[in-house]
Structure 1
């Protein structure tokens, strides 16, 4: 397991790269599908990573707290050839077992992860209603799978976005497993 910290490719104010990806609902999803929200949270994630597994409750809490105002989209960009636990069928199973209420999409070509500059899982990007990046970073301050969060960073920032408050810090790196890239 290679641990990485998220890096800055998209900067504050940059527009979310568009996508058309297959969801676990067997439908194609585009960024335009989420334009009636006050914001969009794109989380690069997967099934097997212990850092993502440790955030399952936090991911569900993001949806419970802010999902009616902010669209939440999980994107799995891992190569299932090397990590069968991250296959499309496994994504469906994980979402069902973990009761994910947000859209979970597969980035088979890995082009979307590259466009966003995603490096690790989880790697979250929060955009406002104009699709401008307002925050890239951690879900909370529990940086190891066994840590207990004492600050719910993403929920705080999502609530600020919903209420029109300024998000002071636009980058606070997430830590997780590296995205499993295809051999080129």
Structure 2
């Protein structure tokens, strides 16, 4: 009986140790602290959150070239950066898809798309597909608004109308930033991201 108890205890400890190393299976929740990252930008330079020491927060958006929803939001992502980067909330876009699964999302095509659309924000590639699972991103686009301490404050969609920005009655990201500026927590702090599923590398 004693041996069975010891074996069970050892297995339980191993389980929690493994969980601690890997983190939550479904990514960050509101209130969690996001770890820093270092990913390659379209200009070949590495970019991380620590490159913005004066930031009051970060608009981290997982997006891509090919998804129709991502395309519908490209101009709005540019507008978010143009409006809020100067206020201390820069957009940092990350392309999470495996280009082997979706060639249109290759690094070269990312460079081309950014030039065509005049992106004013860094557009990074998650080459090892290690960052998007940490965040728990599932769609493109999928937004994570962090504060200056990298605490997740909002997760979800940019607004409530992918097809027509002028018809969006709820601008979730903008409202969340305004809440942070007012010293309060965003409400809602989580919405459903609408977009294409992230294309994962085949095992």
Report if TM-score (shorter chain) is over 0.5. yes
Aligned to 1:67: 85
Which residue of the other structure, out of 34, 53, 59, is the alignment partner of 1:41?
A: 59
- For 2:85 and 2:180, the matched residues in 1 are separated by 13
Long gaps (5+) in structure 1: 1-6
Number of aligned residue pairs: 177
Residue in 2 that maps onto 1:92: 111
Q: Distance in 2 between matches of 1:38 and 1:169?
A: 20
Q: Output the CA distance in 2 between the equivalents of 1:71 and 1:128.
A: 11
Q: How does 1:70-149 map to 2 (within 5 A)?
A: 70-143=89-162, 145=163, 148-149=167-168
Relative to structure 2, which stretch is displaced further, 27-36 or 100-109? 27-36
2:185 to 133, 153, 166: 166
Flag the structure with larger Rg. Answer: 2
Question: Which structure would you say has the larger RCO, counting Cα contacts within 8 Å and 6 or more residues apart?
Answer: 1
RMSD across aligned positions (CA): 1.7
Structure with more of its chain in strand, by fraction: 1
Kindly indicate whether the alpha-carbon contact (under 8 Å) linking 1:38 and 1:161 is maintained by their aligned counterparts in 2: no
Give the TM-score normalised by the residue count of structure 2: 0.82
* Distance of 1:41 and 1:35 partners within structure 2: 15
Could you list the structure 1 runs, at least 4 aligned residues long, displaced by more than 4 angstroms after superposition. none
Q: Going by fraction, where is helix more abundant, 1 or 2?
A: 2
State yes or no: 1:25 paired with 2:62: no
Return the offset for 1:8.
Answer: 6.0
| TM-score w.r.t. length of structure 1 | 0.90
Partner of 1:172, secondary structure, is coil
Unmatched 5+ residue regions in structure 2? Answer: 1-24
- Check conservation: 1:24, 1:105, Cα contact below 8 A: yes
Q: Output the CA distance in 1 between the equivalents of 2:32 and 2:97.
A: 24
